[in-house]
């Protein structure tokens, strides 16, 4: 998600683009993510509109602070979330300006690389099962012995989730279900993966 902030007096306005990787920090986009050493996940209950409002508020704070220098640091917002700004520079030639959530309401912070990989695999399975009839177990049973299904997206989603999620302890599996919004499907997937 990119927010463009205009900074400075009218005659000397500087455009400042602020980026946040939704695929690394928002549950709904997690299926596109790659795990890094440390991660944070905004739960499914935090809407895209709420994230956009956070970035607008963050942009307002940065507008007040910027005087032609970088604005690295942590910023607490009215939403109850805190964002870290890094790679910040008002010069258009510099690397992209970046921010990400580090604490607060609706955020699962400090997610290790292994747990994040499991959350990504869980999200991919959740998306693959969305709209399918039957329980996760019934869907798996219908494809697991079909040799033509082994190259399908849903088969890969099942095996990826089985590999990553079952390696986690109960507490981390529960945190994934909570990040998913504790939907019936998320609970059913979790139950299937424990079996």
pLDDT tens series, the chain, 195 aa: 666 666 556 666 666 677 888 888 999 999 988 888 888 999 999 998 999 899 888 888 877 776 556 678 899 999 999 999 886 555 544 555 788 999 999 999 999 999 999 999 999 999 999 989 999 999 999 999 999 999 999 999 999 999 999 999 999 999 999 999 988 999 999 999 885
Q: Are 123 and 30 in contact (CB under 8 A)?
A: yes
Beta bridge partners of 61: none
Q: Which residues of 132-153 are buried (b: 16+ CB within 10 A; e: fewer)?
A: eeeebeebbeeeeeeeeeeeee
pLDDT at residue 109, rounded to an integer: 94
Cβ count within 10 A of residue 31: 17
β-strand pairing of 14-19 with 38-42: unpaired
The per-residue pLDDT for range 26-60, each reduced to its tens digit, is 999 999 888 888 889 999 999 989 998 998 888 88
pLDDT at residue 195, rounded to an integer: 57
């Amino acid at each position: 998600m990119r927010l463009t902030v205009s900074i400075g007096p009218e005659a000397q306005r500087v455009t400042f683009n602020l980026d946040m990787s939704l695929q690394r920090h928002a549950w709904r986009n997690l299926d596109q993510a790659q795990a890094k050493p440390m991660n944070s996940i905004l739960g499914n209950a935090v809407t895209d509109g709420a994230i956009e409002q956070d970035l607008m508020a963050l942009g307002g704070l940065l507008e007040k602070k910027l005087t032609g220098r970088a604005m690295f640091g942590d910023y607490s917002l009215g939403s109850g979330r805190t964002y870290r700004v890094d790679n910040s520079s008002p010069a258009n030639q510099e690397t992209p300006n970046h921010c990400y959530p580090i604490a607060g309401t609706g955020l699962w912070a400090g997610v290790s690389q292994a747990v994040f990989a499991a959350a990504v695999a869980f999200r991919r399975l959740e998306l693959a099962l969305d709209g399918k009839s039957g329980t996760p177990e019934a869907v798996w049973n219908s494809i697991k012995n079909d040799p033509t299904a082994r190259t399908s997206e849903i088969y890969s989603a099942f095996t990826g989730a089985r590999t990553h999620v079952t390696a986690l302890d109960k507490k981390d599996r529960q945190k994934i279900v909570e990040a998913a919004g504790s939907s019936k499907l998320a609970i059913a997937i979790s139950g299937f993966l424990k079996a």
